[in-house]
Amino acid sequence: MKRIEEIYWLRFYGCLAVFVFHLIERIEENYLEHVFLDLALIPTVLGTPIFIFISIFLFSARYGNEVPHNFLANRFKYVMVPYFVYGLIYSLAEYLRMLASEERVSFGYHMTEYLVFAGWHGYFLIVAMQFYVLFWLYNRFGLQRWLPSGPWLVVGSLISIGWWGFFRWQAIEPPGYLHWIAPLGWIYLFFLALLTVKHYPNLHQQPWFRRFSHPLWLVALLAGIVAFTLFGELAYSSKETWVVPLFIFSLLWAMSWLVGMKATPLVKKVNEYSFGIYLAHPLFFSVVDFVGWQVPIPLWLYVIALAVVGMSGSILLNRLANRAEWSGLLLGKRLRVA
């Protein structure tokens, strides 16, 4: 398959967005909350949707309607094995932290919360796996006849907005991240990916694309989001109603702007380790926090330490893990980048 340079840039942005989102969260939890930090969170909420979009886009571009027979088995191996390995690591670490702070917690309940209810940031992997199954079904049974990507992008967007809006406005909190991993909240990404692949690389010839990729749509939406932020009316995550239109307009504008832009060596290097960075960076953030519990760290040094230790530690771990096939499978395969 011909290299799609736009995807390198999108994955680069998505990886850094997730990284910075969790970094800002640590600052707000441990040091201060400020409206400027809230404003900085706005572009970072697109990180997780970008990874889901890329997954469907690439497989659709690579296979079309001819999905190989071992597709689901391979996806399960490379996605769900790291989910259980990292889920076990994060759950044990949190369980030990709670014991050290003398919080009473049932080990069985705690592990169920993490591994069954996906109560950690790797919930994205379960979402992705569900869409791999949907992608297989969509092509295996020719569902495009009844679920065409164009009209169903509109329907899917309304479904996703309704899903996140219901849980936000009703203040319902299921165990773990159960409502996060339900595909209804992300279904718009599936049809958006199929629609863009269908017309790629001739997107600019499509009237709908020329209209909605215009930056005025994105600027107007961002102005409204910033206004609500300044009034303290928004919550910030990829699971909010306003993220659905923000991602769609941002993605269409980005696909228009990135045409013909070659990925730089730095962009490709981050792509290479993106899966490992996504999975492992909170582990190294916790190392910085542990040091901060022992020795007071000023805010400026704390931010630098999170960025340096979180990024370099994740890359180093991924490099070491991928020296062997089995350890790379357990801790996240390193992406092959030409």
Residue 288 lies in a domain: yes
Q: Is 142 left (phi over 0), alpha (psi -120 to 50) or beta?
A: left
Residue 231 lies in a domain: yes
Q: What are the phi and psi torsion angles at 296 (to 5°)?
A: -60, 135
Q: Which pLDDT does position 27 carry in this prediction?
A: 96
Place of tokens 């960025």: 307
Mean pLDDT, 10 residues at a time, the chain of 338 residues? 87 98 96 93 97 95 88 95 95 86 81 90 95 95 94 97 93 87 97 96 93 96 96 92 98 94 95 97 94 91 97 97 94 88
Q: What's CA 272's distance to the chain center, in Å? A: 16
Residue 338 lies in a domain: no
Q: Which pLDDT does position 1 carry in this prediction?
A: 59
CA distance 14 to 53: 10
Q: What are the phi and psi torsion angles at 12 (to 5°)?
A: -55, -50
- 42 within 8 A of 222, measured Cβ to Cβ: yes
Which is nearest to 123 in space by CA: 54, 43, 186? 186
Residue 98 lies in a domain: yes
Residue 141 lies in a domain: yes
Residue 332 lies in a domain: no
Q: Would you say the pTM of this structure is higher than 0.85?
A: yes
Residue 35 lies in a domain: yes
Q: Which pLDDT does position 246 carry in this prediction?
A: 98
Q: What's CA 149's distance to the chain center, in Å? A: 22
Q: Which pLDDT does position 136 carry in this prediction?
A: 95
Q: What is the pLDDT of residues 57-103, one digit of tens each?
A: 999 999 988 898 899 999 999 999 999 999 999 999 888 888 877 77
Place of tokens 């909240």: 185
Residue 331 lies in a domain: no
- Domain residues for the domain of 303 are 5-310
**Domain tally, the chain:** 1
Q: Which pLDDT does position 125 carry in this prediction?
A: 96
Which is nearest to 44 in space by CA: 26, 21, 23, 25? 21
Q: Which pLDDT does position 240 carry in this prediction?
A: 96
Tokens of 162: 């309704």
